Each structure stands twice: as structure tokens, then as C-alpha cells.
Structure 1
Amino acid sequence: MKLLRQFGMILLITFAGELLRMLLPLPIPASIYGMLLMLAVLMTGVIRLDEVEQAGDFLIEIMPILFVPAAVGLMDAWNELRPILLAVSVITVVVTVMVMAVTGIVTQWVIRQEKAAAARASLPHIRHSKREAIHE
């Protein structure tokens, strides 16, 4: 019963994402709206993580199976995709490398910021005036 309730909550949020896609005139997929809604309800505490965690873990476990229909669709469209396959492959590789580079740069920046904050926190407090020095 617990899993059924969790799946129900996930489906409700997914449905709300579909409604948003229909109501808002933006070229954003319903799945993105659904993920943003899920993030919002989890961050605000409207839904706690443990209320959807088991169903979410199950969906992640079966995710490879969910890609089978997409792969079959690609095989069906092979004749249309063949002429542009090289271009799509090059674009995919270039964009993947760019995303990896930006992710690495941002990660290094965040690590440096955290190290600097930790170093500042570990320094002894510096006296800011002669008066503070006298009272110590």
C-alpha cells in the first residue's frame, strides 16, 4: 500500500507537469515542469523524501528498461537518421565535452571556495582595535 501511495504522489506531480505544459505557452517539456514541481515540493517540505523514496528508487532501478521503446523508435527511423548521423554524432561529442569541461571548472571553483571558507573559519580571530587587545 505504501508503494502505491508513493507512485500515486509521483503520478500526481507528473500530471501537474502535463497541465502546466498545456497552460503555459512555453516550449518546455512536461517532464521538466514535473521535475521542477517535485523539487519545489521536496524543498518546501510539502512532501518529505521518505514519502516518495522507495518508488523513486524502483523507477531508477528499472530505468534501462524504459529506454527500450526509444531505442526501437530510433531503429524504426534509421533511414531518416542515416544521412545526418555523422553530424549528430559530432555535435553530441562536442557538446558532451563542453558540458564535462564546464562541470569540471565549476566543481573546482566550488571546492576552492569551500577550502577558502574552511581556512578562514580556522584562523584565530584577529583583533580589530586596540581596545579589544586591552580587554583580553
Structure 2
Amino acid sequence: MLKQFSIILIIYFLGDLMQKALGLPIPGNVLGMLILFFSLYTGVVKLDMIDKVSDFLLENMAFFFLPAGASLITCFALLEGKLTAILAVSLISTFVILAVTGLTVELIQRFFRKKPVKIASCIENKGDKANNNGSGRNTKNVHARENRREEVI
């Protein structure tokens, strides 16, 4: 596990060194993550070379936020008058992030499904009252769509 941790640290230091040497406005740790991503993508770094330490770090992620939380408590006097504004911004940004994430997932799912929709099959059963279960939905079309979706998956 020490070897795996060393790989991650070396990549982090490469990103930090790159940021300082080139004077980039992107933080070194973000550059390190990009280097790690492209290293994994190209196969320079194999997943099994860092998987155990990555699992360990992800499982204990909350522990690494403790110093940041403790520093907020020590600076509480600075935040005291602005607490409602900070709370409002936090709530609004949380809902915006949730909405954008949901829309992004929907767009990606639509992009990868890309199946042709047969409009004729939907139109021919539109007036069929025998297939309507009282909910206003044509159950025959719903089941046909579900079957097509299962075939694709």
C-alpha cells in the first residue's frame, strides 16, 4: 500500500511542480488529478497500481475534512454576521448542482440510447380504448416501450 500511496503522491507533486514552474492559474492538486486521470486513461498507470490506497482514501474522506471544519470554528467571529448569507448560498448552490447533475445524466442517457422511435406504432393505438386502464395512459404502448428498452439493455 505504501507503493500505491507513493504513486499518488508523486503525481500530486508533479502537478504542484508543473503549476509553480509554468505559473498556471490552476491549482497544483487539480493538475495532479488531471495527470492521474490521463495516466489511467492511457494505461501508463494501471488501476491495480493504486486501487487499494484509493479505496482507503475514499472510505476515510470525512476524516480529511476535519481540519477544514476546525479552522472554520476558530474563525467563527469573522463569519458571525454573514451566517445567513453563507447558508443561503450553500442551499441555493446545492439545489443548482442537483438540478444540473440530473439534467446532465438525462442528456448522457439520451445520447447513449439513440434508438429510433416508431411514430406509426404510437399513432395506430392512440384511439384504442380497450388498452386504456383508466389512467389516461395507453398501457399497450407503455409495455411495448418497456420491452424495447429491455431489448436494448
TM-score range, shorter chain: 0.7 to 0.9
Q: Which amino acid aligns with 2:16?
A: E
Deviation at 1:108, TM superposition (A): 1.2
Deviation at 1:5, TM superposition (A): 0.8
Query: 1:15 matched to which residue of 2?
Result: 13
Query: 2:137 matched to which residue of 1?
Result: none
Q: Which amino acid aligns with 2:31?
A: Y
- Counterparts of 2:46 and 2:18, CA distance in 1: 23
Report the identity percentage. 35
Deviation at 1:79, TM superposition (A): 0.4
Deviation at 1:26, TM superposition (A): 3.1
- Counterparts of 1:76 and 1:91, CA distance in 2: 21
Aligned residue runs from structure 1 range 86-101, under 5 A: 86-101=84-99
Determine which structure has greater relative contact order: mean sequence separation of CA pairs < 8 Å that are 6+ residues apart, divided by chain length.
1
- Please identify runs of 4+ aligned residues in structure 1 that moved more than 3 A: none
**Could you say what the CA RMSD is over the residues aligned between the two structures, in angstroms?**
1.3
Selected match of 1:26 from 6, 12, 24: 24
The two structures have a TM-score, normalised by structure 2, of 0.70
Query: 1:38 matched to which residue of 2?
Result: 36
- Counterparts of 1:21 and 1:81, CA distance in 2: 31
Deviation at 1:25, TM superposition (A): 2.6
Runs of 5+ unmatched residues, structure 2: 117-153
50-59 or 16-25, which deviates more: 16-25
- Counterparts of 2:96 and 2:46, CA distance in 1: 35
- Counterparts of 2:92 and 2:80, CA distance in 1: 19
